[in-house]
Amino acid sequence: MRFIIAGLSTTGKSLADLLSEEGHEVVVIDWSEERCAEMAESSDVLCLSGDATKGQVLEEAGVKNANALVAVTGDDSDNLMICMLAKEMGAKKVISVVNDAAHTETFKQAGIGFQVKPYAVVARHISRMVSQPYVKDFISFERAEIFEIEVEEAMKCVGKEVSDLGASNGMRVLVIERDGKYLNEGTKIAPKDWLTLIVDKKSTKKGVELMNKWFTKGQD
């Protein structure tokens, strides 16, 4: 597959490296010749120095044959312009980083897929790590959050069945994994089990309270 990334921000570089490592054809556009040179020296990614808001530059990058264009510059107006132009020129899909959450409605109205403020995602991850140390991994979506938890000795959930955890309170266990095998909901939870949970964002507070109840250590 062919991908075009507009902007050699930290996010742009990481994304380019990831897609390239997976065997995709990646073209990066950035106004800085220096950043392009550094990227070209350290990877197999094709780097073009230029202004991605210009149709000629997008054409040179092969936007008509791109499976997707991703705009990750630090300027929302540039990202919007790049995505709209890429759509007009034939890119099958366009996605943008939105640096200011106040601009999300504009991107929605333009029919552009977006991810708000990568640094906010990092902040949320850190927040979970410090406030809920039992959470080993975490993904945030628009309507829900998914948590991966490793059960430890003395957690209050040990010996309980999934139904005992109270899934109706905005939290639901999706998967129980033990020694690489997925278990049914009737299985009693044991140390070293891995649980994957989903929490509805409309009831985040209740869901978090429920997790804190069952995944902290101590007696009821």
Q: Is the residue at 220 inside a domain?
A: no
Structural domain range at position 52: 2-116
- Give the residue-averaged pLDDT of 73-89: 94
Q: Please say if the pLDDT value at position 189 is more than 90.
A: yes
Structurally, the chain folds into a number of domains equal to 2
145 and 111 within one domain: no
Q: What is the model's pLDDT at position 219?
A: 57
End-of-domain residue from the set 95, 116, 137: 116
Tens of pLDDT, residues 97-136: 888 888 988 998 998 988 776 666 666 776 777 678 888 8
Q: Mind listing the pLDDT tens digit for each residue in 37-68?
A: 999 888 889 999 999 999 999 999 999 999 99
Q: What is the CATH number of the domain that holds 186?
A: 3.30.70.1450
Report yes or no on 184 lying in a domain.
Answer: yes
CA distances 24 to 1, 8, 65, 111, 219, Å, are: 5, 17, 13, 25, 52
Q: Are residues 109 and 177 in the same domain?
A: no
Assign residue 73 the CATH number of its domain: 3.40.50.720
Inform me whether the pLDDT recorded for 169 exceeds 80: no
**Is it the case that residue 220 has pLDDT exceeding 60?**
no
Q: Which residue, among 83, 195, 202, has the nearest Cα to 214 in the 3D structure?
A: 195
Q: Does residue 104 sit in the same domain as residue 137?
A: no
Same domain, 180 and 106: no
Query: Is residue 146 domain-shared with residue 93, that is, in the same domain?
Result: no
DSSP state of 50: S
Q: What distance separates the 2 farthest-apart alpha carbons in the chain? A: 67
118 vs 141, residue with greater confidence = 141
Are 45 and 60 in a shared domain? Answer: yes
Q: Say whether both 15 and 44 belong to one domain.
A: yes
- Are 126 and 189 in the same domain? yes
Residues 45 and 59 in one domain: yes
